[in-house]
Amino acid sequence: MIKAIYPGTFDPITVGHLDIIRRAAKVYDRLVVAVMENRSKKCTFSAQERKELIEKCVKDLPNVKVVVGEGLTVEYAEKIGCKVIVRGIRAVTDYESELANATANMSLNNTIETCFLVAKPELSFLSSSITKEIASFGGDISAYVPKAILKDVSKKLCVK
């Protein structure tokens, strides 16, 4: 049985993140979605709120568990028994930064592999930051946020 981890900030989860989760859940026996803290980002949602939002989106996926993780991803992955780190790639810039992270993780623990899943073309522009930016100007984010959490996210982002 292969257990994988999909770490991220998910502030908030987007339809792009959810697509990666659904695809990874088909590939791996168990998938842990780990809400991680990123000290370089100021989050709008608390870690617990992000966890709850993701749980609403994945309740139909029995092999997916959502947790709040801490520390270095590769160390957390080892702690919870994951052999693979799943990362989504949207563009060349993502690849460059993800390659650096994967290489660093490999130097810290060469028993955990990193798997890149390429974003669908129609979702390749999407990010939590873009979603929050659009929302901050009152724009429609219904195509960017899973329907299960649209009201929750819109309320938090003060979207009318």
CATH number assigned to the domain comprising residue 68:
3.40.50.620
Structural domain span for residue 91: 3-156
For the annotated catalytic residues, the residue numbers are 17, 41, 90, 128
Write down the pLDDT at residue 8.
96
Q: Contact 89/119 with Cβ under 8 angstroms?
A: yes
Q: What is the pLDDT of residue 41?
A: 78
**Cβ partners under 8 Å of residue 140, min gap 6:** 134
Is residue 84 a contact partner of residue 28, using CB atoms and an 8 Å limit? yes
Neighbours of 32 (CB within 10 A): 22
- Predicted TM-score (pTM) of the model is 0.94
Domain count, the chain: 1
What count of Cα atoms within 13 Å lies in the side-chain half-sphere of residue 160? 2
Q: Beta 3-8 vs 64-68: how paired, if at all?
A: unpaired
The per-residue pLDDT for 158 is 72
pLDDT at 138: 87
CB 13 within 8 A of CB 34: no
Q: What is residue 160's predicted lDDT score, i.e. its pLDDT?
A: 52
Rounded Cα–Cα distance for residues 78 and 138 (Å): 42
> Which residues of the chain have a pLDDT value below 70?
159-160
Taking the alpha carbons of 50, 69, 9, 2 in that order, is the dihedral positive or negative?
Answer: negative
C-alpha closest to that of 1 among 59, 61, 63 = 63
Q: Are 108 and 137 in contact, with CB atoms under 8 Å apart?
A: no
Query: Rounded to an integer, what distance in angstroms lies between the CA atom of residue 108 and that of residue 102?
Result: 10
